[in-house]
Each structure stands twice: as structure tokens, then as C-alpha cells.
Amino acid sequence: MVAEPSADTHPLDRHRDPSRVAVVQGLAAEVAAHHGGDLTRMRRANGYSNATWVGDGIAVRIAHTPVDMAREVALVRALPPEVGHPEILGEGTVEGHGWIVTAEVRGRNLHEAWPALTPAEQRRAVGQLWARAQWL
């Protein structure tokens, strides 16, 4: 029998097995500590394919399922600086779960901010994204 998610369960984890969520969170805490962070001081961010925490100057992403993130790291390192990706501080695999640690980028997640933006701000945001994509 799988336990019901608690009230403090992150919305993106509500459909996941709580024991697997705990494993991923524990692994993320280890990775964060290795890079000078403390998961208890970091906020859980939206991330659909990975669990993501941000704070203490870093962002920690760890895959929910056993997956290697080396291809993503290689792609990011191949992008020109003008695209604007956070600096990768470390990557690897722990207990089969791929992880990436990047420098924290201060700001607001566009997906979270979008509903509160005016139409003009939304157009400006799309224009900025398009300008970055032109570098590719």
C-alpha cells in the first residue's frame, strides 16, 4: 500500500510514490551539501522532469528516475555564452539518479510569473526568448 501524499508535498510530487520522493530528496540533500548548500534553506522550484531546489547560491536538479544527464550537460557546454545558461558547477549520478548543480540565477520563473504579466510584458518576454534563440 502506498501512503497518501502529505499536505506539505510539493504539487509536482503528489502523483509520485512518497517513498521514492523521499529518496530523491535525500539524494538531492547529499548533492547540495557537497556543493556547499543546505536543502532545508533552499526552495523547491518547478521542474517537471527533475526535482529542483534553488538557494544558497546553487540550483540542484536531480532526476526522479534513473537517467543520465550527461547529454544535457554536453549541450549546455556547447551553447554560446550569449544564450545565457547558468554556470554548471557539477554533474554526475548517485544511486542511478542523474544530477546537475548550477550557479543560482536570481529572478522569477517565467512559467510562474506569466499569469500576472500584462500583455505588453508577455510580448516583451517572448521577444527576449526569441532573441536568445537566435544565437542557436
Domains of the chain, earliest start first = 11-105 (3.30.200.20), 107-136 (no CATH)
pLDDT tens string 61-100: 999 877 778 888 998 888 888 788 899 999 999 998 999 9
How far is it, in rounded angstroms, from Cα 113 to Cα 13? 21
How far is it, in rounded angstroms, from Cα 39 to Cα 62? 13
Torsion angle of the four alpha carbons 77, 49, 93, 19, in this order, in degrees rounded to the nearest 10? 160
Do 102 and 87 contact (CB within 8 A), yes or no?
yes
pLDDT tens string 42-58: 999 987 778 999 999 99
